Structure 1
Amino acid sequence: MSNLFCLLTPEKDSVPLKSIDAQLEVKDHVATLVSTLNFENKEDKPLETVFVFPLPGDAAVCHFSAQIGETHIVAEVMDRQQARQVYDDALSSGQKVFVLEESDESPDIFSLTVGSLPPGESASIRLEYVTELAVQADDGLRFCLPVVLNPRYQPRGSEGPSVQVTSVPASLVPYSLSFSARVSSPHPVSKIESSCPLEPLQYLNADQTQATVKLATGHKFDRDVELLIYYKDAHRPSAVVEAGQVSAKPGTLMGDPAVMVSLYPEFPESVTSNFTSCGEFVFLLDRSGSMDFPTYCGSRQSRIASAKDTLMLLLKSLPMGCYFNIYGFGDSYEQVFPKSAKYNQKNLKRAVKKVEEMGADLGGSEILEPLRQIYRQPCIPKHPRQLFIFTDGEVNYTKAVLDEVKEHSEFHRCFSFGIGEGASSELINGMAREGGGHAQFIVGKERMQPKVMQSLRFALQPLVTDISLSWDLPEGVSVTTLSLPLTALFQGQRSLIFAQLTGECSEAADGCLTVRFTTAGHPCQNQLHFSLQPACDLDFDQKEDMPFARSSIHRLAARTLIRSLEQEQREHGKPEEIEKVVDLSVQSGVSSIFTAFIAVNKSNGEPVQGPLIYRENPTYMPLLRGGLIDLMFDDSWGEKNIFRRICSSIRKRTSASKFGKACKNNLFSASSFKKNQSESIENRGDCEPTEPARDPLLELVSLQDASGCWLLDPCLAAALGKSIEELVKTRPSS
């Protein structure tokens, strides 16, 4: 079954969405995306369309507008309940109205409602958001324009109607996508790679610090549009100061300068040379029905196969003497050992056999109970617990899961892996954030190994505690740190800090940030000196196309503070926290769970006459993992909470090294036998996965013993494509 869907009306007519234009601007580590969605109502009745789509969980939605003919309407941010009342009033009066709001349960899902679009009329919706780009294991910065919104599973007993989902081949998608990106940085742009075909990279200046790239014509909706951006010598600590908005009041977040600090903590050599080899490693594998879907449409590998390959690499790379266990979850859960077992060849062999037998056969994605079972197990003295979670992220109750991870964060670190396209960024990133670990997204095999090894390296690093920040600024300048307190630091991994600067100083003034922490019993500190002069904007010739990009750091800072206040409100339930969130959201123009963007065109509105037909046909379509629902009004529409109805309908349909380790005892080096493998995978409309031949490297790793050695036997010879005699001749004398 495909996870790539498109909407057709009950009469098999195409959806009113006709085309999508996405423009990306990347400034160093910050990305601003502008998406323009063009709708046209070809029916003979007024039409209401609800477009449900995900965004990165840490994205700041900062602009929403609509163009209807010659009329341009810019939305304003207001309290959500007030926005819903305005929407109902406008809709009942026949006015054109548009509303954008995020999910109560998962802040990476939004709904866009295009209200009362008359017959024959067109509308263009412009949506803009800003987000930071995560640094990958190979030092590339990853931006992803997802194509699939996976249905989110609702546990048994939850409210919400069952929904039938209609899938269609990518070749029949009735709209087009254009995508272009503009990249600028103080460092030269060395290359840009993508999972989709791109036109050649175009540099805009001699020092190659500015470049543009476009999606090649003829792109099919069969996979995420993923960009990997590589800078030369980019991964160093830095701080960027952005001037406040002239129109904003001084003393406010938007009126004062904001600073974004990128930290790359350095540990003393006395710590790095003695990274521990102990630990309890607990692996939690999603075995729900959707894990049987392909990692992306056209892929020959299922999500469960990808997750098992990822898990196999980790199992073969654990240090001798540690402890480990494996859980699989769906409607129920299973575990390999009654409690965590010592890592040795006997237990590894048993675990590998169990993993090979695992399938996507446990039903729904009820992850809370196995999490609680893991947390109920007593910790093993001198073996810090490291939890690795593999899931496609199709969980509806994201906040409950994150709260559970956070509650037990003192006793473990959580490393999460999003498997396949459509994995919830809020869930995957959130579990790592709340558990003081690291998140990875794995769609194909091409970058699996470095990602797996990076997470394991982080897990083997000692726990960092007592993290504190201190600012040294000129007299007359004060600072307010906006980010949540740092709970985790890893050698070589980027951490972001946002702060508001208040006061005035000379243009030549400098500041200093000192980060103090303790790791492996050693007190450490890192310092970063930076200029307080606002950075010059890296302008493009067409910068007016993205006016909001000029305040990108302020928008991200506001989003960071909004998330912090939302969390405090959720934990303590204080009404004053809601007021703070609403005030900040309105001031900054950044969305929150308590506000919504609303745009109303009050001209030529006429009340809707007679009983109206309500039509619901929720399915999922390939834009921003998005889904469309075509709706005709009914006479009680004003009393309905549209977004709750939509979210309740998004349900998941369930079905019944040691590699890289320096080991002197190794008989063979796995890397020396790695083979290049190129396969032409036909883009099939049904997108059914068929398991491909196993990757040679993974086959080799699967034969490795717990100690890091390989037995010289026929299986090894077959994996290497050699005879036993040939291997004996090349065996090292030691």
Structure 2
Amino acid sequence: MLSSITTLRPEECPPVPDAGLGALSTARGNLPLESVDVTAAVSGLVAGVEVVQGFRNPHDVALEATYVFPLPDRAAVTAFRMEADGRVVEGVLKERGQARADYDQALAQGRRAAIAEEDRPDVFTIRVGNIVPGERVTVHLTLNQPLPYEDGAATFRFPLVVAPRYIPGTPLDGEQAGDGWSSDTDAAPDASRITPPVLLPGFPNPVRLSLAVSVDPAGLELREMCSSLHVVREEGTTVRLRPGERLDRDFVLRLLFDASTSLALAPDDDGEGGTFTLTVVPDPAPATTTPRNVVLVLDRSGSMAGWKMVAARRAAARIVDTLTSRDRFAVLSFDDVVEHPEKLGGGLVEASDRNRYRAVEHLARLEARGGTEMLDPLERAATLLAGASGDRVLVLVTDGQVGDEDRILKALGTRLRGVRVHTVGIDRAVNAGFLGRLAGLGGGRCELVESEDRLDEAMEHIHRRIGAPLVTDLSVEADGLDVITETVGHIGSIYPGVPLTVLGRYRGAGGGALTARGLDAAGRPWEHRVTATVAANPATRAIWARARLRTLEDRYATGSPWLEDEIVKTSLRYGVLCRFTAFVAADTRTVAEGGPGHRVIQPVEPPSGWGSPAPAAAPMRAVAYGGAPGGYGAPAGGPPAGYGGPPPSGAPRGYGGAPARSGPPPSGAPGGYGGVPAPAPSARRGRSQEPPREQLTEELERLRAAVSLPAAERLRMLQDLGSRLAALAAHLGGHAELAALAEELQAGGDVETLWRRAVEGLEALVRPVKRRPFWKR
């Protein structure tokens, strides 16, 4: 029986910095993943990367820790090792089933072990087992990745969080493939492996992140380096992330230099062959304009809420505005249902001024809502284009956060032949792997937009690609170089500002030249001959192997199951991880009799820029992952509140488990996740919500870092900032200070005055506000 309650003095219960609902703190920590260290060395258009993940067991029994994390979708993982207690165990690449059996056997025998597996081109899982109490274990991944190049800039992008993905389909009975919040479904049979739990908002920063990129131009003139989402420090040609950053958005570094036409040969160690890389930089000749048939597909699902929806509408409207009266077009928007502008109908129509205005008017009214049922609108778009003559283009604007990628690719594989598919991924943690694979079906471009600041530049790239290419019907002819024909993938076309890159294998010592041939925009023969030079770069072989494996895996996903043996053989021969193989590292020493007594799946950060989950989307329970005390994040056995899950049988379902609306959202209200209506502005006018200080702090730091830029560029930054602040004020249901600052910045004026006003205004908004105790509010 409770007889008395003793009041604690303030010094006996100090608050945990940045603590939020569900946060725990113990002397030994509360989550197994302690640190992530990324070290990259860029040489020309190739980056070599080492990722080191540090795990620690804060419990009293042996632990198995699982971490689901992203890597660049075109990166080749070539090595894996585990270090603990002064011992180093090198990983061995094996067929996936055999690697899992070796890992399970090691754990059952009480030995330390680790396994690395690929679940998507950009989603990987590491399990580390039999970490003894208080012990630290580190795992090392080595990878190589090519840097995409366009208009004088190469991009190094490194993802840091797996964002929640919409999982369609009917839940499957039986044992689940993984430990994620979603059940496996008939549309995404491994959904439980790609849906790690999500930390509750406000959870203390659980993982120490460090990231450094050293840049060697490799003979090219490096003019500038730009980081778009993080604040960095430059030390010569090395860029370092500031301390305290969270794993909640992609790291993006753009390098400005001029590429050059070349044919580089990378011989194998035995000298009996090697890998070639052909790069052809096109002349700056304008392409001729030909009539086009364009279908624009816009994702308006719940995960697009906030700045992403604003950017998506702008992107879609700009695409429509670039069309001419010679073109025909259609606009489709989707969540759980597919819609089109009522005044245009559902087919291709002439891109007249009136029709383009109606399309833009329709786009301006769209708000985020519902689930991401992506297959149906893409199939409708393919049907519309199938009956069209001339140039056929499909443009998808989305964050790509779906879990049924293979099902979509399989359904569309043969239907998109002859259609150029361009994807615009809008998110700070975009599903780049899927969008790249989808664009690859039609030889199109995948453009990633991580902020509204980046939108204008990205849309310029897409506009050029929608237009006619400079050179088509390309082929490569060897002269003195014994090229292995089947190792050369699809060559595609040459577009303004975008170099042609062809990789393949050759036999013998190497030498000679390659000639690229095709037809120019006027239908005349075009050719370009490039002489080979030897450039001993071991990363070239791995990058080619990764590209080859992606091609084979996409063919497998689109209905060629007999390719599995070839995929495994290629992966093992070239030592590059794929979906059918895994790296396993097993120690020989026994450290934990009986195997791990505790298992934890590491929760991941909520992606930066995503709105808070809808409060009504799912009940919140204090449930621990892996049986640990207290709540790390979202409930086990169900989706994180507001983020998604499979729909019940026979009914579409949005993010958060609530039934999705079939009609439009409340007037002026940005939809909540999963079709849960956001409160109408009138319901929130009485007291404005407080603005997200983390987001405004980022805006403030971006201004401080750009103070030395030219006046014209700073004025553009201020106007863009104004648009974001206006959108944020509207999302909060009206915020007087934000709205006033936004209006002032968008109106323009003297740069110095506006810059000072923006800095002072943001400083005031991020300053901590003393609030009444919650029990008095």
TM-score range, shorter chain: 0.7 to 0.9
Are 1:482 and 2:487 an aligned pair?
A: yes
Report the CA distance shift for 1:285/1:692 in structure 2 as closer, same or farther (over 3 A). Answer: farther
Matches within 5 A, 1:604-615: 604-608=590-594, 612=597
Report the CA distance shift for 1:45/1:655 in structure 2 as closer, same or farther (over 3 A). Answer: farther
Are 1:99 and 2:115 an aligned pair?
A: yes
Report the CA distance shift for 1:580/1:332 in structure 2 as closer, same or farther (over 3 A). Answer: same
Could you tell me how far apart the structure 1 residues matched to 2:387 and 2:561 are? 38
Which residue, 339, 353, 357 being the options, matches 1:349? 357
Deviations 1:484-517 (A, max 9, x none): 1223332331232222232236xxxx52211122
Could you tell me how far apart the structure 2 residues matched to 1:16 and 1:561 are? 35
- Say which is worse superposed, 158-167 or 346-355, in terms of deviation: 158-167
Aligned-pair CA distance for 1:687 = 13
Q: Give the residue type in structure 1 aligned to 2:130.
A: S
Matches within 5 A, 1:411-450: 411-450=418-457
The corresponding residue for 2:564 is 578
Matches within 5 A, 1:296-695: 302-336=307-341, 337-361=345-369, 363-377=370-384, 379=386, 382-462=389-469, 465-473=472-480, 477=482, 479-480=484-485, 482-504=487-509, 510-520=511-521, 522-535=523-536, 551-570=538-557, 573=560, 575=562, 577-608=563-594, 612=597, 618-620=603-605, 631=626, 653=656, 654-656=674-676, 676-677=718-719, 679=721, 690=732
- Say which is worse superposed, 465-474 or 518-527, in terms of deviation: 518-527
Aligned-pair CA distance for 1:436 = 1.8
Matches within 5 A, 1:14-53: 14-53=30-69
Could you tell me how far apart the structure 2 residues matched to 1:177 and 1:687 are? 31
Are 1:122 and 2:126 an aligned pair?
A: no
Matches within 5 A, 1:235-254: 235-245=259-269, 251=272
Q: TM-score, normalised by structure 1?
A: 0.75
The corresponding residue for 1:199 is 233
Aligned-pair CA distance for 1:569 = 4.4
Confirm or deny: 8 A CA contact 2:52 2:140 kept in the other structure: yes
Which residue, 139, 151, 164 being the options, matches 1:151? 164
Q: Give the residue type in structure 1 aligned to 2:267.
A: A
Which residue, 96, 99, 107 being the options, matches 1:83? 99
Which residue, 28, 49, 55 being the options, matches 2:71? 55
Report the CA distance shift for 1:128/1:372 in structure 2 as closer, same or farther (over 3 A). Answer: same
Report the CA distance shift for 1:571/1:417 in structure 2 as closer, same or farther (over 3 A). Answer: closer
Could you tell me how far apart the structure 1 residues matched to 2:413 and 2:171 are? 24
Aligned-pair CA distance for 1:621 = 6.2
The corresponding residue for 1:546 is none
Q: Give the residue type in structure 1 aligned to 2:478.
A: W
Could you tell me how far apart the structure 2 residues matched to 1:564 and 1:380 are? 28
Aligned-pair CA distance for 1:22 = 0.9
Q: Secondary structure at 2:101's aligned position in 1?
A: helix
Confirm or deny: 8 A CA contact 2:324 2:352 kept in the other structure: no
5+ residue gaps, structure 2: 1-17, 177-181, 184-194, 611-623, 629-642, 647-654, 657-673, 677-711, 736-745, 751-777
Could you tell me how far apart the structure 2 residues matched to 1:7 and 1:19 are? 23
Confirm or deny: 8 A CA contact 2:421 2:445 kept in the other structure: yes
Which residue, 236, 257, 260 being the options, matches 2:277? 260
Q: Give the residue type in structure 2 aligned to 1:73.
A: V
Greater relative CO, 1 or 2 (CA 8 Å, sep 6+): 1
Are 1:189 and 2:222 an aligned pair?
A: yes
Q: Secondary structure at 1:84's aligned position in 2?
A: helix
Name the % identity. Answer: 24
Report the CA distance shift for 1:689/1:483 in structure 2 as closer, same or farther (over 3 A). Answer: farther
Confirm or deny: 8 A CA contact 1:5 1:622 kept in the other structure: no
Could you tell me how far apart the structure 2 residues matched to 1:532 and 1:45 are? 57
Deviations 1:20-61 (A, max 9, x none): 211011111111211111111111111111110122222111
**Paired residues, number:** 608
Report the CA distance shift for 1:170/1:489 in structure 2 as closer, same or farther (over 3 A). Answer: farther
Confirm or deny: 8 A CA contact 1:483 1:564 kept in the other structure: no
Q: Secondary structure at 2:223's aligned position in 1?
A: strand
Confirm or deny: 8 A CA contact 2:21 2:202 kept in the other structure: no
Are 1:224 and 2:231 an aligned pair?
A: no
Confirm or deny: 8 A CA contact 1:8 1:14 kept in the other structure: no
Aligned-pair CA distance for 1:466 = 3.1
Report the CA distance shift for 1:262/1:282 in structure 2 as closer, same or farther (over 3 A). Answer: same
Could you tell me how far apart the structure 1 residues matched to 2:199 and 2:221 are? 43
Aligned-pair CA distance for 1:574 = 5.9
Deviations 1:93-129 (A, max 9, x none): 11111001111xx322110011121111110111121
Deviations 1:49-81 (A, max 9, x none): 111012222211111111102100110100111
Confirm or deny: 8 A CA contact 2:267 2:274 kept in the other structure: yes
Report the CA distance shift for 1:52/1:609 in structure 2 as closer, same or farther (over 3 A). Answer: closer
Aligned-pair CA distance for 1:183 = 1.2
Aligned-pair CA distance for 1:173 = 1.0
Which residue, 141, 156, 178 being the options, matches 2:154? 141
The corresponding residue for 1:729 is none
Q: Give the residue type in structure 2 aligned to 1:183.
A: V
Q: TM-score, normalised by structure 2?
A: 0.71
Aligned-pair CA distance for 1:678 = 6.9
Aligned-pair CA distance for 1:313 = 1.7
Could you tell me how far apart the structure 1 residues matched to 2:428 and 2:383 are? 32
Report the CA distance shift for 1:144/1:564 in structure 2 as closer, same or farther (over 3 A). Answer: closer
Could you tell me how far apart the structure 1 residues matched to 2:451 and 2:719 are? 13
Confirm or deny: 8 A CA contact 1:473 1:511 kept in the other structure: yes
Could you tell me how far apart the structure 2 residues matched to 1:72 and 1:7 are? 39
Q: Secondary structure at 1:199's aligned position in 2?
A: strand
Q: Give the residue type in structure 2 aligned to 1:26.
A: V
The corresponding residue for 1:707 is none
Q: Give the residue type in structure 1 aligned to 2:365.
A: E
Could you tell me how far apart the structure 1 residues matched to 2:279 and 2:437 are? 19
CA RMSD after TM alignment: 3.8
Report the CA distance shift for 1:526/1:212 in structure 2 as closer, same or farther (over 3 A). Answer: farther
Q: Give the residue type in structure 1 aligned to 2:289.
A: F
Q: Give the residue type in structure 2 aligned to 1:677.
A: Q
Q: Secondary structure at 2:553's aligned position in 1?
A: helix
Q: Secondary structure at 1:497's aligned position in 2?
A: strand
Q: Secondary structure at 2:719's aligned position in 1?
A: coil
Are 1:173 and 2:205 an aligned pair?
A: yes
Which residue, 290, 298, 305 being the options, matches 1:285? 298
Confirm or deny: 8 A CA contact 1:78 1:598 kept in the other structure: yes
Confirm or deny: 8 A CA contact 1:170 1:221 kept in the other structure: no
- Say which is worse superposed, 163-172 or 148-157, in terms of deviation: 163-172
Q: Give the residue type in structure 2 aligned to 1:354.
A: H
Deviations 1:652-708 (A, max 9, x none): 64233xxxxxxxxxxxxx99x96853749999xx99965999xxxxxxxxxxxxxxx
Q: Secondary structure at 1:83's aligned position in 2?
A: helix
Q: Secondary structure at 1:527's aligned position in 2?
A: strand
Report the CA distance shift for 1:613/1:29 in structure 2 as closer, same or farther (over 3 A). Answer: closer
Deviations 1:189-234 (A, max 9, x none): 21111022222340xxxxxxxx322223444556432111112xx2
Could you tell me how far apart the structure 2 residues matched to 1:528 and 1:560 are? 24
Confirm or deny: 8 A CA contact 1:18 1:40 kept in the other structure: yes
Aligned-pair CA distance for 1:424 = 0.9
Q: Give the residue type in structure 1 aligned to 2:461.
A: Q
Confirm or deny: 8 A CA contact 2:327 2:350 kept in the other structure: yes
Aligned-pair CA distance for 1:379 = 5.0
